[in-house]
Structures are given as C-alpha cells and as structure tokens.
A and B are shown apart, each in its own frame.
Chain A
C-alpha cells in the first residue's frame, strides 16, 4: 500500500503533530519504507486466526468500588504549564 504525502499530512493532523513541508517529505519517505517492510504481512494467510491483543490469556480483574484517592491538586499542578484557580488553562475553546 503506497503512502502519499496526503496520508502523512492527515496522520500528522490526527496526531496533532506540527510538520513543515520539509519534515513531511522526509516522513513520506521513511514511512513509505517502513510500510513496505510491514507489507510483508500481507503474504501470510491469516484466514480464521483470532487476533491476539494480549500475550497472556488472562481476564480483567475488578477493583472494589472504594474511594482511595485524596485531593493532591496542589502537587499535581506543580508540573502544569498554566493553571489558575485550580483549573488548567488552554487557549480559548470555541464551542
């Protein structure tokens, strides 16, 4: 499956990665070669094979419904780039 410039731009937008044209051109090239290597998978017949999401066949353990966490806002917001009145600030979001 060939990779187009538009595919890279689209992925970059979905991933919110700023790319200039020069970067984008380089990534089209790199990603194209990676996908070429990945395309080797298509040669393998996997009809009827169930996808494997986890290496072990174990199931989800459930947690008791208990409040175990207390307020650590001050501590957590020490590493935040912009806060005011306990809120994280971002450029205005237009609804």
Chain B
C-alpha cells in the first residue's frame, strides 16, 4: 500500500481493496517502526488520523467521496493545525497548540484527506538541509548519511520512505523543490498568490508559497486542485479561478518550446547532474519538444538579493515571538527587556538569529537604500529575465540543485549552504511556479529536474512533468530503506 501513488490509492479505495482506516493504520505502523531512524515527523496525530479515516470511509460508503477522500498525507509543521502542536521546527513554539487551522489545512480536510501528522523542517523554514531543526536533523531515506534537503525535509523524506504518499511543503527559496530533488520525489511550488498563506507561519511573506510534494505530477495536480484558490484571509492570494489541474495532464508535448538557461549549466554544476539533465532533455525532444538555449542574465544576483529581502521580512515577521502571548518565555525575567532578549535568545536557533540580525541590520537607518531598496530593484530585473524568456519559450528546464544531497554536517559555513540554492531562489523572487521531478541518480542519491513556467502556468508544468513521467521511470524508484523495512 505504501508504494502507491495517491491516484492509485484512490482507485483501490474506490474498488474496496482496503479502507482508509486500514491504509491509515498501515502507514501509522510504518511511521512507528521507521521514523525513529528518519525523524521525519515532529508530531504524529494518531487519533485524529483514524477519526478522519473513519469519517472518509463513511462518506465513501455514502457515495460522497471526492478524488482525495480518505487519502493520507502529512503537513509540514509550519501549517497551523487546530488543537495540534505547531512548532515551525523551533523551540520557540515547542509548546504552541494552534487555536486555529491554516486555510490550506482546512481545504485539504474539506477534501477528505487524512493528515497523519506534522513533518520536520528547518526552523521557521530557514535552511536547505533540515539540519536547523530544533527537533534534530532528518535523514535521507536514500542514504542515511545524506541530508534530505530543506526546509521541507521531513515532508520529502516521509514521502520517499513510504511513510505517507504525499505531503504539503512550503517554498521560500527552494524549500519544496530542493528536498524533492534530494529525496527523488515530485514537488511543486505554485505561483506566488496561488495558494493561501493564511495560517502558514511566515518566514518571508513576499516569497513564501505552499505546494504539494508527492510521487508523481498527477498526484501534485490532484493536491493543488484542492489547495489552491482565493482566500478572504490573505490579501496576497489572488482571486482567480482554480482549474482542475488533472485535466491537461495528457496533452501531448509536440511543439513544446523548452528553454535551457545558460546560467543554470555553468560552473559549480556537478557533471553527473548535468548529464542527467541532458538525458532528460533528450527524453523531451523525443516527445516532440524543441529545445533552445536562453539567458537569465541576472541569475547570479538572485542569492544576494534574496539574502537581503528574505531576512528583512523575516526579522519583522519574527518579532511577534516575544514571550508575551504564546511561545517560549524565559524563566523569571527581571524586566521587560530581559523578557524579550532571553526569551528570544533561548527560543530561536542559530540560523534564525543570523537572519534576524542580517535583516535588522540591512533595514536600519543608513543601510536601507544600499541594501533593501537595491535588492528590490534587482528583484525587478530578475523577474524581467523570466518574463523575457517566457516570450520565447513555454517552459524553462535545468537542475533543481547543483549537486545531489550532500552529507549531514558537510556544510558548516552558512554562505556555502546559501549558494546551494542558486537554481531555485530566483524563482521565488520572480513569483513564478516551479517543479522538481526525479531525473536520475548520482550513485544512490537522486537528482531532480527543475521545470519552470510563467505566472499561473501550473497546469502546463504539471502536464510537462506528467508526460516526462509517462516516458521515464525515475519516479518509480524506491529507496532500499523503504523496501527492506516493508
């Protein structure tokens, strides 16, 4: 059961091969047995999961099942879930039982999905390896010495290990796409504003976006159809109809124009990853697509611009964690300043503090123009690069990450960690949608192909990814860890 895609599981449930309760119990059992090693989950919601599964079985019996009814998934622990602990991977929120549900959580529950729990992540989504979690690192099921990527590392590893068929992640600079690539699964970061951010704990508000992580593009399409859409609680969530994203999956790719950004194939790209990319492109050509080189000239300014904008927004977004209304509060504060300074010093981890300090510094008097304003100007140039490219091609393709998953503990220097995100970060600055799909291996570690589209071109991206998955079987590979422990 744990090998199947959401679409396959839906068919099995429809056919009565097993119930949602049986499926849920099976996966909860796997989590129980395997997650001690992987550390994908911060909180497993056994009782709520079984109750939701029973409710799903009931509505299926009553003939009221939708496409996602009774299907299990996991939520990154950045989504507020009513009456369930929601930590954002931080000691700061270790005791935070959310009094409300995020819009995405509500929508997925309404669609009948069964949440098994909350997955591990880099603290406040700041990280690319999941090593910045207060709850310890997550291991990559393909190679337990490797990181799963981050910040949605728990979500990616849980899907790869067969603990759950799908999970919801968030992506501010690559946090869905990079762990999806490292764990050999399919992940989609939608257009900024496509999915509501209400109830999703903010890291950098103008960049954050929630998206699905699953085994196939088809599953991502099923999930996005349920997650996306207008929300009265989020001003930045666009009022735009939500198509059925599964409808265009089967459109043939003949005539598709693919652009390969020159800057995504330069120095620093591991040769084996590049080889996998070239193979993938060949597969598309054989499906009738044409390929040309394009240029995104400001690519190399994306990381510097991001490390001004994201920390600036984060420094402000994280001011609410002050030990007054919720979250960690230090013992016996001597005065108000002591309450603030100690609660925050104790509650936040190293990387979070680094970014708060950077953001505070760059926004402060005398620095604002040189850093923040400059970064926002560069942001416009970066977006324009993409808009120009999409005048010429339908989609862009390249690696999701310059290397496969690196070893746990390998990157001690923050800057070298930041540079990992060279191919993913610009996408968030531009607000366009991007996917990562499995496209090969380097040794036993997966490689992800990134596919990018223009604003609101999710249906096209899913179609392209699905056609690739009809022609290749990289997405069907399962890590030995999951098999041995079946």
Contact = CB atoms under 8 A, between A and B. Distances in A.
B325 A31 contact: no
Interface in A9-45: 10-12, 14-19, 23, 27, 30-31, 33-35, 37-42, 44
B334 interface: yes
A86 interface: no
B365 to A, nearest CB: 10
Given A17-B348, A38-B371, A50-B380, A90 B414 contact: no
B410 interface: no
A39 B308 CA distance: 10
Nearest to B353: A17
B232 A63 contact: yes
Contact of B206 (A16, A30, A46, A54): A54
Interface in B93-140: 95-97, 99
A95 B360 CA distance: 26
Contacts of B409: none
B381 A46 contact: yes
B46 to A, nearest CB: 22
Nearest to B357: A11
Contacts of B236: 54, 58
Interface string B367-392: 10011011111111101000000000
A82 B236 CA distance: 34
Measured as residues with beta carbon below 8 angstroms from the partner, the interface class of chain A is 35 or more
Contacts of B348: 17
A15 B315 CA distance: 7
B307 interface: yes
A12 B357 contact: yes
Given A11-B357, A41-B301, A52-B377, A78 B370 contact: no
Contacts of B415: 33-34, 37
Measured as residues with beta carbon below 8 angstroms from the partner, the interface class of chain B is 35 or more
A90 B303 contact: no
B84 to A, nearest CB: 12
Interface stretch (B174-182, B282-290, B336-344, B439-447): B336-344
B55 interface: no
B451 interface: no
Interface in B320-375: 322-327, 329, 333-342, 344-345, 348, 353-354, 356-358, 360-362, 364, 367, 370-371, 373-375
Interface string A55-95: 11010110100000000100110111110000010111100
B347 to A, nearest CB: 10
Contact of A49 (B303, B336, B341, B381): B381
B324 A90 contact: yes
A53 interface: yes
A16 B308 CA distance: 20
Task: Name, among B356, B360, B413, the residue most crowded by chain A CB atoms within 10 Å (CB to CB).
Answer: B360
B199 interface: no
Task: Name, among A19, A46, A63, the residue most crowded by chain B CB atoms within 10 Å (CB to CB).
Answer: A46
A88 B360 CA distance: 27
Contacts of A42: 370, 374
Contacts of B335: 91-92
Contacts of A92: 335-336
Given A27-B354, A91-B336, A34 B364 contact: no
A80 B326 contact: yes
Nearest to B205: A54
A56 B356 contact: no
B379 A52 contact: yes
A30 B414 contact: yes
Contact of A31 (B301, B358, B377): B358
A37 to B, nearest CB: 6
A34 B354 contact: yes
Contact of B97 (A55, A58, A79): A79
A72 B99 contact: yes
A41 B329 CA distance: 38
B429 A55 contact: yes
Contacts of B361: 3, 7-8, 10-11, 31, 35
A55 B345 contact: no
A35 B358 contact: yes
Given A49-B380, A72-B99, A40 B356 contact: no
A29 to B, nearest CB: 10
B301 A55 contact: no
A46 B383 CA distance: 14
A56 B192 contact: yes
A2 interface: no
Contacts of A61: 235, 239
8 contacts: A10-B364, A18-B341, A46-B381, A53-B376, A76-B99, A78-B97, A79-B95, A88-B324
Kindly list the 9 A-B residue pairs having the minimum CB-CB distance in the complex, ordered from nearest.
A55-B431, A51-B376, A18-B341, A18-B345, A16-B340, A46-B377, A81-B329, A52-B380, A49-B377
Given A17-B353, A44-B381, A79-B327, 19 more contacts: A1-B367, A11-B357, A12-B357, A14-B364, A16-B319, A16-B337, A17-B348, A19-B353, A35-B358, A49-B377, A51-B376, A51-B377, A51-B379, A53-B206, A54-B236, A79-B97, A81-B329, A91-B339, A92-B335
